[in-house]
Structure 1
Amino acid sequence: MYKSVWASYVGSIAALGVATCCVLPMTMMLLGLGGSWLAVFGKIAAASFVVLSIASVILLAAWIVTYRRGALDHLIAWLVGSSILTTLAWVIVFNEARINDFLITLM
């Protein structure tokens, strides 16, 4: 498998992790796993758009490299999976307030 495809997965997972930085603490508090250590997520939130943008660029580069090398038929499932993860990260970031409001209603 090409390094660009692995890079796209690493970028997608990082983007998903950063995107959940504000939703994850609320979910953990609902499960009783709260604590002062959750304040770390606030620092990560500041970098969410930067990490998501970088992950999107890496993903686009992986699609282009794979297409140019003629390996799109073999690696399309990997690239689609990475694209889904990155898209999910963007959806979470843009709907963060709604998700948090919903989680608050569950408390």
Structure 2
Amino acid sequence: MQKYLSLSYLGSVSALGVATCCVLPMTMLLLGLGGSWLAIFGKIAAVSYYVLAISTALVAVSWLLSHQRGSLPKLKCWLWGTTAMTGLAWVVVFYEARINDFLIMQM
């Protein structure tokens, strides 16, 4: 079960990273950490929905397997953590334009 929980966290962290691919460069520019290396984030944005979908599937499988194996009471806090991270990633993706507008206004 630990393997599935690790996959769930790996999927959630990668989803959160991909979701911030367009917000993170704006934040870094705001902090003065710009550069040509920020162009990499454009390539990541192309696959963001796929990574988010895979992450959501990994979290769902982790919930299902922990329920089937009877380890849900022990892992419930960890699973809620992965669910919250993946949910935050979806929120960032859906409100990306508003977040970027806010960051631009801070410049």
Deviations 1:19-43 (A, max 9, x none): 0000000000000000010000000
Q: Summarize the alignment of residues 25-44 of structure 1 with structure 2, pairs less than 5 Å apart.
A: 25-44=25-44
Provide TM-score, normalisation by structure 2: 0.99
1:90 aligned residue: 90
2:15 aligned residue: 15
Residue 28 of structure 2 aligns with an amino acid whose one-letter code is M
Superposition RMSD in Å: 0.6
1:60 aligned residue: 60
Residue 5 of structure 2 aligns with an amino acid whose one-letter code is V
Count of residues in Structure 1 that have an aligned counterpart in Structure 2: 107
Deviations 1:39-89 (A, max 9, x none): 000000000000000000010000000000000000000000000000000
Q: Runs in 1 of length 4+ with deviation above 4 angstroms? A: none
Structure-2 separation of matches of 1:56 and 1:18: 13
Give the drift of 1:2.
2.0
1:77 aligned residue: 77
SS at match of 2:33: coil
Provide TM-score, normalisation by structure 1: 0.99
- Structure 1, unpaired ranges of 5+: none
- Structure 2, unpaired ranges of 5+: none
Identity %: 61
